[in-house]
Structure 1
Amino acid sequence: MKVFWFIPLHGDSRYLGTSEGARAATYDYFQQIAVAADTLGYEGVLLPTGRSCEDAWVVASSLIAATRRLKFLVAIRPGLSSPGLSARMAATFDRLSKGRLLINVVTGGSPVELEGDGFFADHDVRYEITDEFLSIWRDHFRTAHDGGSVDFEGRHLSSRGGKLLYPSFQRPHPPLWFGGSSEAAQAIVADHIDTYLTWGEPPDAVAKKIASVRAKAERKGRKVKFGIRLHVIVRESEDEAWAEADRLISRVDDETAAKAQADFAKMDSEGQRRMAALHGGKGRTRAELEIYPNLWAGIGLVRTGAGTALVGTPEQVVARMTEYAELGIDTFILSGYPHLEEAYRFAELVFPRLPQRVRENLGSALPGPFGEIVGVTHLPKAAHG
């Protein structure tokens, strides 16, 4: 089990859907979160992509020197850049960071946004382009190791004599991650991807996805790892956790929710459709939004992409994480509002309660003592894990 955190390149807030309690998306703030995640022991961070965000490659590159061991999950966008250019960017980042790059392949779910960036293709064509893109991209890394060149002639993309002269630190290339719920997306996973990501649906739905993807990959002679993207609201008591969930959406009015849902309706992403179906865009109460024990769909009222959160005590959150892990989930990519404070809260409340083998792999790491010295001599009592 590996635990990642999130850098909010689209901004951060204490209340969704309003500027009240909001924070600017600045380098200083991104760096604070990255350093916190690095020192607390998170495996890595996801940096989102899209026109609502600061550019993930620029931000992640700027954070290499500010961190020691943190990995960066950064998107490549088939159709928006060429495979050769993307390969060179990835190889450079991986070399400069000494192997701390992970690649998030994002095909894109909003035709409106993609057309604004100059990319005109329907859902299935985008996945055809992604397939060709990844074939060329992966071949570029092969050339860096064997001295060959990339010659590829596809329906949408071509390469003639492509070369990558500087190899990546990781072999054969930085690992490829990918999320998508459609049949076309799962076919991409079977052919190219190392880790398949799902958004936080109830366990039975996640189990079906895992089984489907695993079977497709096995038919191609490949094995795939699995990750899940969730928000988290953890507090010492269950009442506190659910009160915080209510507070987070307490400024979301019907007009704001309707605007968000109208944007979601324009998307052709199967994953986004499934997220929106969990809440219907109208509910506000716990009874309407708790779609599985401790799994809450309130964030999806206004936020695109991952729209569900684990809500509860540390013990309840660990129980749900364990339930997903037993299905085959290897990696949890988590976030919370505001992201700086919640990175600390999750690490302090949940890390000590994770299985010992997981705790041993966390990279937090200064030896004790932890906490304020009692008087001038006595160490604080050890916490019970």
Structure 2
Amino acid sequence: MQVFWFIPTHGDSRYLGTSEGAREVNIDYLKQIATAADTLGYEGVLIPTGRSCEDPWVVASTLAAVTTRLRFLVAVRPGLMAPTLAARMAATFDRLSGARLLVNLVTGGDASELEGDGLFLDHAERYEASAEFIRIWREVLAASHESAELDYEGKHLKVKGAKVLFPPLQRPHPPVYFGGSSAAAHELAAEQVDTYLTWGEPPAEVARKLADVRQRAARHGRSVKFGIRLHVIVRETEDEAWAAADQLISKLDDATVARAQAVIGKMDSEGQRRMAALHAGGGARSRAELEISPNLWAGVGLVRSGAGTALVGDPHIVAARIKEYAALGIDTFVLSGYPHLEEAYRFAELVFPLLPRSVRDKLQGKVLSGPVGEVMATGIVPRAARG
């Protein structure tokens, strides 16, 4: 099991849909989140991409310099850069960070955003281009370890004598992550990626998606790892957690939800369609309607595109739900919470001790130089917490 956190380069707040309680996303704040994740024991962080976000490669390069162990899951966008340029960027980052790069292949599901970036391909064509892009990226990096060149000619992309002179530290290349819910996405994942990511759907739906990718991968003679992207709202009691969930959307009004859903509804992403269906396109508003599976809440998706569900509950409940997904074959959990700095601490303090021993040892493997907690009466060290 790997537990990742999230760098909110598109903004952060205590409430969704309002500037009240919002925070400026500047380098000092992003450094706080990254160093917190690094020292708390999160294995890595996801840095999002898109026109609503700061550039993920620039952000990751800055944060690599202020962290020591943290790995960075950074997006590449087919169609917005050449695969050979993306390969050189990846190799450079991997070397300079000490092999801490993970790559997130993002095809994109918002046609208007993609057209604004000069990409005019329909859903099927985007997946064709993505498959060619990541094949060139993978093969030119693999060839770089032998100082070899690559020739490739596809429907959308062509290279001749492609070469990366300075190879990445990771062989044959940094691991590739990828998410998508359509048949084309599952086929791309089965054929080329290392870890398939799903958004947080009910366990039965996740199980069906994983089974399909497994079957497709087996036909290619491959195996694929699996990850899930979830928000988390964990408090010491379940009542407190649900109150925090209600508070997160307490500033939303119907007009704001309607505007957000109008934009989301125009996207041609199958995964986004599935997310929207969980809250009836914004129509579900009560806790009973938004709790779509035990402790799985779709309130975040009322105004947020992409990952729109959260695990809500006390530490034992949230840990149990994580273990349910792990039992399906999920081994990477990419988590986030609002605000991201405080919730990184809250989740680590409350839930890390309840995860399997092998995971706890890895998460808490850093060397501590002194007592953990406040020393009492000038000489009494707090007892170690029991897992």
TM-score range, shorter chain: over 0.9
Give 3-state SS (helix, strand or coil) of 2:382's partner: coil
Contact 1:177–1:193 (Cα < 8 Å) also in 2:
yes
Contact 1:200–1:307 (Cα < 8 Å) also in 2:
yes
Contact 1:290–1:296 (Cα < 8 Å) also in 2:
yes
RMSD: 0.8
Give 3-state SS (helix, strand or coil) of 1:330's partner: strand
Aligned to 2:267: 267
Q: Deviations over 1:341-362 (max 9, x none)?
A: 0000000000111111110111
The CA deviation at 1:191 is: 1.2
Aligned mates of 1:14, 1:147 — CA distance in 2: 50
Q: Deviations over 1:126-160 (max 9, x none)?
A: 00001111111112112211222111111110001
Contact 1:43–1:363 (Cα < 8 Å) also in 2:
no
Aligned length: 385
Letter in 1 for 2:142: R
The CA deviation at 1:65 is: 1.2
Contact 2:132–2:156 (Cα < 8 Å) also in 1:
yes
Contact 1:40–1:364 (Cα < 8 Å) also in 2:
no
Quick one: percent identity of the two aligned structures?
A: 68
Contact 2:150–2:163 (Cα < 8 Å) also in 1:
yes
Letter in 1 for 2:338: Y
Q: Deviations over 1:57-93 (max 9, x none)?
A: 0000011110000000000001111010000000000
Which 5+ residue runs of structure 2 have no aligned equivalent?
none
Aligned to 1:306: 307
Aligned to 2:381: 379
Aligned mates of 1:98, 1:256 — CA distance in 2: 44
Letter in 2 for 1:339: H
Superposition TM-score, scaled by structure 2 size: 0.98
Contact 2:179–2:197 (Cα < 8 Å) also in 1:
yes
Q: Deviations over 1:291-344 (max 9, x none)?
A: 011100000000000000000000000000000000000010000000000000
Matches within 5 A, 1:326-341: 326-341=327-342
Aligned mates of 1:331, 1:366 — CA distance in 2: 24
Aligned mates of 1:154, 1:46 — CA distance in 2: 30
The CA deviation at 1:363 is: 4.5
Q: Deviations over 1:218-268 (max 9, x none)?
A: 110111000000000000001000000000000111011001101111100
Aligned to 1:357: 358
Aligned mates of 1:144, 1:384 — CA distance in 2: 48
The CA deviation at 1:369 is: 1.6
Give 3-state SS (helix, strand or coil) of 2:102's partner: strand
Aligned to 1:296: 297
Contact 2:49–2:56 (Cα < 8 Å) also in 1:
yes
The CA deviation at 1:364 is: 5.2
The CA deviation at 1:381 is: 2.6
Letter in 1 for 2:92: T
Aligned mates of 2:34, 2:344 — CA distance in 1: 10
Letter in 2 for 1:356: R
Letter in 2 for 1:129: A
Aligned mates of 2:367, 2:175 — CA distance in 1: 29
Relative to structure 2, which stretch is displaced further, 306-315 or 128-137? 128-137
Contact 1:75–1:106 (Cα < 8 Å) also in 2:
yes
